[in-house]
Structures are given as C-alpha cells and as structure tokens.
Amino acid sequence: QVQLVQSGAEVKTSGASVKVSCKASGYTFINYYIHWVRQAPGQGLEWMGTINTGGGSTTYAQKIQGRVTLTRDTSTSTVYMDLSSLRSEDTAVYYCARGRWVAESSGFYFDYWGQGTLVTVSS
Amino acid sequence: DIQMTQSPSTLSASVGDRVTITCRASQSISSWLAWYQQKPGKAPKLLIYKASSLESGVPSRFSGSGSGTEFTLTLSSLQPDDFATYYCQQYNSLPGTFGQGTKVEIK
C-alpha cells in the first residue's frame, strides 16, 4: 500500500533552518511528483512547492521562494524539504503529499499524504 | 493566483442530515476541483476529484457537482464519522490553492 512517512517534530529558533524528510513506499517513486503543504495552527492549507521525483526539477510558491529547497534521493525514495531563515509564522504542520497529475489541466491534486511534521519556531 | 472561497465557514448539523458545502473560484477552473476531509490531528483525505468523481473507497453518501466557478460537496446523510473540516482545492493551475475550510460540527 502507498505510504508517505515523515520525520519527527522539530523545535527551532528564529533564523535557523529545518529539514523534514518524506519517505515513500508502495509505488514507483519516480512516477509521481511529491508536494509540500503546510498548515499553521488553526488555519487552512497552504501549498509550498513540488518536486519532479524523476528529473529533480522543482516549483515553489512565490511567497516562500528563496527560503525553501526540495530535493530527492531516488535510491531511498525520499524527498527532503529544507526551509531556511525560519520565522515565528513558519510554525506549522508540514505535510508531504503525492500529486496525481492531470494532463488536461496541467495541475495536481493529492491522493496520499504523509502524517505531518510539526515545526515549531521560537524566538 | 486563483482564490477559492468556501461557505459556510462552520456548519452545525445532526446525524442523518443532508449537508451541502459551497466552493467558489475567482475565475473559471472548468471541473478541476478536488475535495478533502480533515479530522483533528490528521492529514487531509481525498474524497472527490474532477468536481464529481468519487475517490476509491469513499462512501457513496459523498457527492460533488459543479463546473466553472461554483461547486458543491453534498453529504446525503451525515454520519458520526463525517464530523470534520472539509477543503476544496483547484488544480486548474499552479499553485493549487485551497479554500479556507468548512467545519461540520455536531448540532
């Protein structure tokens, strides 16, 4: 069965960086993009970016571009999300999700999600 | 970016009720809309894609409709397991923006 398993909770201070991992199993890793979506406490869902797990190309949300980097390791079917210059407003649960590509729309929806990783940024 | 607006923000209902949630897009997204259910402390779960296609394993009491800019998610007979927050998401273009969510509460 498809599974996305994320690394554990992190507590960071302002200005630091955090790296969260997402290990995929149960399907052919390079056939699906992986996306990252975050959710601040009590808030909605915010798309952060995506990585083509086959070729490695990335696309990021404009709001967070320059601070986020997605990478992948095809040998371990793992995607990494690196977020730098952390601020208090980055405190959130970070989810990885498998993107189901729709050619007609050139867009994605998300059929499997990781369990989430809480990142807490304290000053 | 395409803006997605859900209504209502909160909905109080009883078991057995028929419930409808609306999602409006700031521009036409054809039928490129998904619906998710999220329970507290859990990841979202895909319910519906392409506005009205039921994801495998999702109960048939969930249904979706609409196209263009206006969409609805309907729960035909609310069950205890359905009390949760529901999100719409457009995938007409990147970024795939979400609505702000609709919380379905017990009346």
Residue A16: left (phi > 0), alpha (psi -120 to 50), or beta? beta
The percentage of chain B sitting over the pLDDT mark of 90, rounded to a whole number, equals: 93
Could you report the per-residue pLDDT of B69-101, keeping only the tens digit for each? Answer: 999 999 999 999 999 999 999 999 888 899 999
Q: Output A101 or B72, whichever has higher pLDDT.
A: B72
Beta bridge partners of A25: A3
pLDDT computed for residue A72 by the predictor: 98
- Decide if pLDDT at B19 tops 90: yes
pLDDT band of residue B10 (cuts 50, 70, 90) is very high
Q: Answer yes or no: are the C-beta atoms of B96 and B88 closer than 8 Å.
A: no
- Mean pLDDT (whole number) for A87-93: 97
pLDDT of A24: 98
CA distance B95 to A110: 13
Element (H, E) at A111: strand A107-113
Distance from CA of B92 to the nearest CA of A (A): 5
The DSSP letter of residue B98 is: B
pLDDT at res. B94: 82
Cross-chain Cβ contact B94/A46 below 8 Å: no
Residues of A with CB under 8 A from a CB of B: 35, 44-47, 50, 59, 61, 95, 97, 100, 102, 105-111, 113-116
pLDDT reading at B102 higher than 90:
yes
Mean pLDDT of A31-41: 97
Residue A62: its pLDDT value, please? 93
